[in-house]
Amino acid sequence: MRMIAVSNHKGGVGKTTTTINLGAGLARLDKKVLLVDLDPQAHLTYSFGIQAHDLEKTVFDLLMGKLDYNDVIIKKDGLSIIPSSLDLSGDYKKKLMSMDRREYLLKERLNSINGYDFVLFDCPPALGIFTLNALTTVKEIFIPLQTEFLALQGMSKLLKWVNIVQKKYNKDLQITGIIATRYNHRKRLNKEILEKVEKYFQDKLFHIRIRENIAIAEAPSFGQTIFEYSPHCNGAVDYLNLSKEVIEKGDKNVA
Ligand SMILES: Nc1ncnc2c1ncn2[C@@H]1O[C@H](COP(=O)(O)OP(=O)(O)OP(=O)(O)O)[C@@H](O)[C@H]1O
Ligand SMILES: [Mg+2]
């Protein structure tokens, strides 16, 4: 079982889109996939058409130890999903911060999980307690990068933080994938940025680029993954190919 945190503290770079559509792509390749929405914005949950504000059982109940993971899972489109609920007041964070061993709550709650090939965690755009819980639970981090101006800005902060988490909380943690998102090969700037990202991350960068694709942005408002919404569009092709590369690269790492 591979547990992967999809994380970047920069907002709007494609974390949620990638968690959903990489998860759906892996499921199309017959993998058993669990998606965990760790973001109090609940974008992943809403993107499946699940009304996060009405939910009674969410990732927060799991973290607080009120419910077992099996009781929180919702099944949809061949995927298992642990939803988040909207936290407008910031209460969840306050409650989490008051817990003992608060960095390890998720790890402890998912300790006995089995039956999945992949568990993907959609992290919020912050290096706070939710992301920290993901990073103590997983061995792998995927970082989506939007191939635009300032893509690498803030990256040294993220890498430093990952380094601290490795040393202090989880020695097995590794950045195993960088995903270039919203790529447009016709834009010179996108190409230049991608070259910089390639130089910086070398073989950690996946070969597959996720192209800019309007259907990807539209699918969530229909509560669908890209494979249901528009199965032949560039977005579906790219995320399926990325899923294949993720599997192949993982097999190589294990071999
Ligand atoms: N390949 C793409 N083509 C077109 N639009 C995209 C693509 N990928 C993501 N988007 C759009 O970009 C916006 C940001 O994407 P997304 O919500 O996945 O980012 P995020 O990193 O999860 O954001 P946040 O930091 O707020 O959690 C969304 O409106 C999404 O639909
Ligand atoms: Mg998001």
161-208: pLDDT as tens digits: 999 999 999 999 999 999 999 998 888 888 888 888 889 899 999 999
Kindly give the distance from the C-alpha atom of residue 230 to the centroid of ligand 2, in angstroms, as a whole number: 21
Residue with tokens 């902060």: 157
Euclidean distance between the first and final Cα of the chain, in Å?
15
Kindly give the distance from the C-alpha atom of residue 70 to the centroid of ligand 2, in angstroms, as a whole number: 24
- At residue 45, the pLDDT reads 97
Using CA positions, which residue lies closest to atom 5 of ligand 1? 217
Distance CA 226, CA 17 (A): 9
Q: Which range marks the domain in which residue 82 is found?
A: 2-254
- Tokens of residue 35, six digits: 């998606």
Residue 255 has pLDDT above 60, yes or no: no
- At residue 156, the pLDDT reads 86
Distance CA 48, CA 24 (A): 11
φ/ψ of residue 114, rounded to 5: -150, 175
Kindly give the distance from the C-alpha atom of residue 255 to the centroid of ligand 1, in angstroms, as a whole number: 34
pTM score = 0.96
Pocket of ligand 1 (CB under 6 A): 11-17, 39, 43, 125, 181-182, 210, 212-213, 216-217, 235
The model's pLDDT over 110-159, given as tens digits with 9 standing for 90+, comes to 999 999 999 999 999 999 999 999 999 999 999 999 988 777 888 888 99
What angle (nearest 5°) sits at the alpha carbon of residue 35, between those of residues 32 and 37? 170
Query: What CATH number corresponds to the domain at position 111?
Result: 3.40.50.300
Give the number of domains in the chain.
Answer: 1
Kindly give the distance from the C-alpha atom of residue 11 to the centroid of ligand 2, in angstroms, as a whole number: 7
Give residue 254's pLDDT band: very low, low, confident or very high (50, 70, 90). low
